[in-house]
Structure 1
Amino acid sequence: MRTLMRYLRPYRSMIIWTMVFVLLQSIANLYLPTLMSDIVNEGVVKENTPYILKIGGLMLLVSAVGAALSVGASYLASRTASGFGMRLRSSVFSHVERFSLQEFDKLGTASLITRTTNDITQLQQVLIMMLRMMVMAPMMCIGGIIMAVSKDAKLSLVIIAVIPVLALAIYLIGSKGIPYFKAMQTKIDKLNLVLREYLTGIRVVRAFNRTDHERERFDAANEDLTATSIKAAQIMAAIMPVMMLLMNVTSIAIIWFGGLRISEGHIQVGDLMAFLQYAMQILFSLMMASMMFNMLPRASASAARIREVLQTEPVIVDRDSATAAAHGPASVVFDQVSFRYPGAEKSALSGISFEALPGQVTAIIGGTGSGKTTLVSLIPRFYDVESGSVRIGGVDVRELSQEALRSRIGFVPQKALLFSGTIADNIRYGKEDATDEELCHAAEIAQASEFIAGMKDGFDSVIAQGGMNVSGGQKQRLSIARALIRKPDVYVFDDSFSALDYKTDARLRAALKDETQAATVIIVAQRVSTVMDADQIIVLEEGGVAGIGTHAELMETCGVYREIVTSQQTEEEIA
């Protein structure tokens, strides 16, 4: 947690005032037993009513001041912890934004969500308690011991004998609970993963009648987390009975030995009552410390998980010499490119070389797992090549800043993704300052105008989370419009027409041809009908290039391409 404390720097004044308030509150609480002792010794025993009223009023005033200080300290501690959580969440989110896909693959989306929400909440709760307790607990403990000794030094031996026993008990119990708290956070990740997969894949789950299977997966993860939580709670729950036992034993011992001291004339009744209260304050401060100790293991585990995110450096970073290239027509060149996913034994791509020219359509086709999506992911530098180079406009993509590189690319991913908001918001995601005319034009080219006009609010129609209220084809067309509106130098369509019917597919490609005349267009497709009119077709097989050419050329020279065509078209269509 120490490395995360830098996020508290803007709240230093609040922390200082919190500690001042807690310190004054502790002094007030320590003063009350002494006042009560005076009331008993000087007021009750001597039947001095005016003195009782005077000191009683002073006690009420001290109590009121202590209460006000407590409210102020709680308010400042809450403000500080909330601000800390806000800044830490922002820092984690900003850091995660810099991650490449490799870091997401390593840490996992569900885990990153848990770390940004649940783990930081754990730290906030502990911070609130620490701001209150780290001053109050030692102040009450040390101050209570000093005041108790001032009342009767020999009777204080009872308290001094109990403190080591209590501290040892807290340490032994807490040390056994730490592994369980660490395991709990990992199991929360697992639970979130199962829940997220179920909610995002609800249509598939129901289509295959796998609701019972998913419930079993969730129940297994839930029961695993519950069992660990119960075990941790059982261990930590032992602290309270131990505390109460020691407090009661201490009270009995103080009353027993205190009675003997009174009979011998060493202390008065009021002093014994004050001593008993100081003893309770000392033990209560240790109880507060044990509560904090109870929360620290889980907070420590959460802090370690957050620190792991913040200390994970992205593999893909801008070089010191990174530049922003000028916009304009740009070719895309793959020069002996090889790529292997982290931890994979076999390369996903090997020796890929080709050039996609401006004003031309370059299509990429191949069987499942041939490396099509991997190849186009290297263009916007989602991953870095293992060897060789990818160049845009003659410049290696690693020499460009990521922002400059991606500003030149209109990328439509294989899985169309929409964000919650309106249709206009989703299309303008490609260009925030796009005019209404640009919006309508992009939708028209993407063949989305018709279904948008048919919706109740047109471009202001609300898209549900993940685009669940539109069809797959509509999502793809909106994703294409989002890429078109930014008018990039390079268009990359990663199997972006798969959910379209043949008629819409043909209209869209015809509209794109006029819209993208000056740009470099790269299309990944499964359908032969989508790629056969391309200026250049690249055939991939098992991560390598099986053939490059036009449709007619590949039918003559590439067996892999002929097999793909034959599997999709009749002899009449081929002819």
Structure 2
Amino acid sequence: MSPNLDPPDHGLRLTTSRLLDVWRLQRRLTALALLYALMYSALSLAIPLLIARTIDDSILHDERPLAPQLAIVAVLAAVRSTVNFLRRYATARVGVGVEASMRELLYGAYLRFPRAFYDLHPTGQVVSRATNDLYPVRYFIGWGMVQGAQSIMMILGTAVVLGVTNLKLAALSAIPLPLIGLVAWRFAHLVTPISRDVQARKGDVTESADEAVVGIEMVQAFGREDDVQDRFAQRADAVRTEVLRQARVESHHLPGLFYLPSASVAVVLLVGGRAVIHGTLTYGEFALFIQLLLQLVWPLESTGWIINLGQRALASAGRSFAWLDEVPVLPERPDPARMAEGDTGVELRGVRFAYPGAAEAVLDGVDLTVAPGEVVAVCGATGAGKSTLLGLLPRFYDPDAGAVLLGGHDLRDLALDDVRGAVGVVTQRPILFSETLRDNLLAGRPDADDAALHEACDVAGVTAFLDDLPDRWQTLIGERGVNLSGGQRQRVALARALLTDAPVLVLDDPLSAVDTTTEDRIVTRLRSALEGRAVLLATQRLSTLALADRIVVLDDGVVVESGTQAQLLERGGTFAELFGEDASVAA
């Protein structure tokens, strides 16, 4: 059964549980933020109480000096302002910390996900889940959750104070609260699926932008600017459509959440005002009700914002945690076997492989052995399965049937780090980083000395163009090696692989972009550099095949021929059909 590389988003309960697991890493700072929220709520209740007493005792009846009362109010207000600042700073740090933790989890998972995952998911979607999807999480954790807790503290504290002051008036002022709860519940129910759609459409926009930037040469070369612009506009319009859909739900519900708290103030003005007139409620108590209810307007109004933000955060986190929890990494044994020191050979036994979701196998029953010190070339028409076969050796994929052996051990029995350390790879499209030339060359072996570095670069032909670079070894070669030609990128990738000193080398058309004169020089030097290594080489160039001790021909994923170049040409089979004309010209 194929692994599930595109799992559905997590539901509300599972997402909440996983988000709390990450949030617990910030529990001390969160506890401090909640303490500040409690202090802020307590001060917000104490100040109106003090003002009420000042009105009744110092202004109306002159029972207490006014100045000290006002001074205390001013000091408490200043303290509350400071506490509010500290609470906001603490919650901001919590939000940023949770966002950073989730981003690190995703990035770590991205480095472990199998290649099949990246065959399925566009780069833009992958990037979006580690960027756009985490912003709502940060804002909700960094503001919404503690603000919600503070709002609950204020509501409960206000209810107690008002109930003790005048139970009847407190009960009347609470009439709108059930309606607020009903509107908030309905709002959350409607906005949740829309929030998920918004995040998905934002991922599509990121994907479209990424494709345009990465493929800008082809876009401009074929005059596809308008087509790419139209595609981006369509995806941007899809985001606009979903955001407007969300805005419609917000416009139908948020005004109600904003209006209903004010209704409580209206009730107090009507009923409380009459009570003051009839002498059953003091001016100070009346002012206390008004102040506390006005302070409750924002906590009650913020309920809608918090719910909205919470739904966005849960939708975003649900997408991210689905990948973290459900996408399987390549399995490793808890007690992996260890390869013996020394020469290491490669063997494929009855290997069958099909890409996830594909109806037909790319490789079917492939048997192949590469001994230490032997160079075996894999040839075949386009789509025959050459690159797929080579991708099995560094364990980018696991075969569906059969086994790939390294040093006599099934790759699945070895530690993945040991496999990757034993297999040097040059891919069909060399990947270079936006770093210096030297850093790119040392990527596989950072501790290599200058002598080994220069030797590998001499063999691969890097030193031939070194003096043409503005800063030689310290030249920044740009993203994906954009400042180098295609042939130069291939030579850097080949030197990097040679420098690793890995006992097994996988070379996927390593010199396809190199001119024939340079290729001849590199091939001549490579013969000695490859001594003692097991090398599997895929190429469509007859000149590169001169490196091979033996040639294996693939046709529709099956080995149909094997032998030396001369033997295969003499047989007149598939190999001769592919290279016979070139061989005649070369002769």
TM-score for both structures, normalised by structure 1: 0.96
Distance verdict in 2 for CA 1:533–1:172, change over 3 Å: closer
1:94 and 2:108 aligned: yes
The residue number in structure 1 matching 2:374 is: 360
| TM superposition shift of 1:164 | 0.6
Change (3 A) 1:338 1:194: same
For 2:39, which of 1, 11, 24 is the aligned residue? 24
Counterpart-to-counterpart distance in 2, 1:174 and 1:318:
42
Return the match for 1:305 from 300, 308, 319: 319
Q: Any unmatched runs of 5+ in structure 2?
A: 1-15
Q: CA deviation at 1:281?
A: 2.6
**Judging changes above 3 Å, is the alpha-carbon distance between structure 1 residues 533 and 262 closer, same or farther for their aligned structure 2 residues?**
closer
Q: Is the 8 A contact 1:429 1:482 kept in 2?
A: yes
Would you say the 8 A contact 1:162–1:250 is kept in 2?
A: yes
Distance 1:213 1:470 in 2: 29
What letter matches 2:486 in structure 1? G
How do residues 341-380 of structure 1 correspond to structure 2 at under 5 angstroms? 341-380=355-394
Indicate the RMSD between aligned Cα atoms, in angstroms.
Answer: 1.8
Q: Is the 8 A contact 1:98 1:314 kept in 2?
A: no
Distance 1:462 1:374 in 2: 32
Q: Distance in 1 between matches of 2:99 and 2:160?
A: 38
The residue number in structure 2 matching 1:260 is: 274
1:253 offset after TM fit, Å? Answer: 2.4
> What does the per-residue CA deviation read over 1:410-440, in whole Å, with 9 as the maximum and x for residues that have no partner?
1001111100110000000010111122222
1:429 aligns with 2:443: yes
Matches within 5 A, 1:309-348: 309-348=323-362
- Give 1:178 shift: 1.3
Partner residue of 1:159? 173
| CA drift at 1:46 | 3.2
Q: Secondary structure at the match of 1:170?
A: helix
Q: How does 1:3-18 map to 2 (within 5 A)?
A: 3-18=18-33
Structure 1's 144 and 458: CA in aligned 2 closer, same or farther, altered over 3 A?
Answer: same
- CA deviation digits over 1:110-160, x for unaligned, max 9? 222222222223211111124522431111101111222223222223322
Alignment correspondent of 1:104: 118
Preserved CA contact (<8 Å) 1:533 1:551: no
Aligned residues: 572
Q: Which TM-score applies when normalising by structure 2?
A: 0.94
User: Any gaps of 5 or more consecutive residues in structure 1?
Assistant: none
Could you tell which deviates more after superposition, 82-91 or 139-148? 82-91
Q: Give me the whole-angstrom Cα distance separating, in 2, the residues matched to 1:572 and 1:150.
A: 104
Deviations 1:215-241 (A, max 9, x none): 111111111112211221232244442
Higher mean C-alpha displacement, 140-149 vs 524-533: 524-533
Instruction: Name whichever of 537-546 and 226-235 sits farther off.
Output: 226-235
Per-residue Cα deviation, 1:363-384 (whole angstroms, up to 9, x for no partner): 1111111000000111111111
2:8 aligns with none
Code of the residue aligned with 2:30 in structure 1: it is: I
Whole-angstrom distance in 2 between the partners of 1:134 and 1:172 = 18
* Offset, 1:322: 1.5
> Secondary structure of the equivalent of 1:429?
coil
Q: Where do residues 118-267 of structure 1 align in structure 2 (5 Å cutoff)?
A: 118-267=132-281
SS in structure 1 at match of 2:514: coil
State the distance in 2 between where 1:500 and 1:254 align: 85
Match 1:282 to one of 296, 299, 307: 296
**What is the rounded CA distance, in whole Å, between the counterparts of 2:313 and 2:323 in structure 1?**
15
Does the aligned pair in 1 maintain the 2:144–2:310 contact within 8 Å?
no
Q: 1:4 to 1:177 in 2, by over 3 A?
A: closer
Q: 1:163 to 1:370 in 2, by over 3 A?
A: same
- Aligned-pair CA distance for 1:92: 2.2
Match of 1:404 among 418, 431, 444: 418
- Residue number in structure 1 paired with 2:81: 67
Residues 1:40 and 2:55 aligned together: yes
CA distance in 2 between partners of 1:47 and 1:154 (Å):
29
- Matches of 2:583 and 2:408 in 1, distance apart? 42
1:548 Cα offset (Å): 0.6
1:53 aligns with 2:67: yes
